[in-house]
Structure 1
Amino acid sequence: MWMQQELRLTPRSRGFHLITDEVVDGLPGLREVSTGLLHLQLLHTSASLTLNENADPDVRHDLDAFLRERIPGDLPYFRHTLEGPDDMPAHICASLLGTQLTLAVRGGRLVLGTWQGLWLGEHRDRGGARRLIATLQGE
């Protein structure tokens, strides 16, 4: 079985946000897969996807603080500045963290570790709604 659909994520503020439930709720076909893979591709260059801590929101805060300190928007050698001081740092963060995830599916559920959740990294001050292509394969 192959299925592909686009998911639209609600706009979020800059930072990292748990999106596990939003993704699972948007994929009713997931429940039908006994064994398979879910591939998620974010259709943007200034946001990211990652798999990380799902319980303590301080982890999301700390990663955002770390990246903001390491990749500030006022670096004098940035040339790509027409879209604002947060845009080039957003592209760097997206490239470092990535925009795709492939996850195992078993028994109609994502196979995640006890403390794992899907994160959207919103690296723009006002990034707007984000779109994901979800490709589900399995039996």
Structure 2
Amino acid sequence: MRQFDLSPLYRSTVGFDRMFNLLDSLSGDTAQQPYPPYNIERTGNTSYRISMAVAGFGENDLDIQSKENVLTIKGDKKDEQKEGEREVLYRGIASRAFERRFQLADHVEVTGASLENGLLHIDLVRELPEAMKPRKIAIGGNNNAPQIDAKAA
């Protein structure tokens, strides 16, 4: 039996939890995460949080955009120090540019972002419109409803 690696789809979508939980149970999650590493967490029934490790990046180095159900996070480190001022002996903190895209489910909106302790947190919420929410239908037991009599013409 063939196994398909669905982990790239699982890592880049938010709001498709039930479908991907079923698919993820069929296939293992063995792929390594690309740069920068991130987590997708469920923080409530309809709320989510993406946490991304962006050590060395400041608020001015990051760009977050949401357009047509795609969340795009770009990081571009601008060197603030001139080359002559310091010499880096060992570079263990990556400062390369990145672009990460997440496919959002319908009705998932970005509610905010914060940068603290080298982690970029992006909060999302899924809000269904009133027309799509389930509604209770009363069973009619009204005997006084008008009835149409069929009369011969």
Same fold, TM-score > 0.5, yes or no = no
Please tell me whether Structure 1 or Structure 2 has the larger radius of gyration of its CA atoms: 2
Tell me which of the two structures has the higher relative contact order, counting C-alpha pairs closer than 8 angstroms and 6 or more residues apart: 1
TM-score, structure 1 length as denominator?
A: 0.28
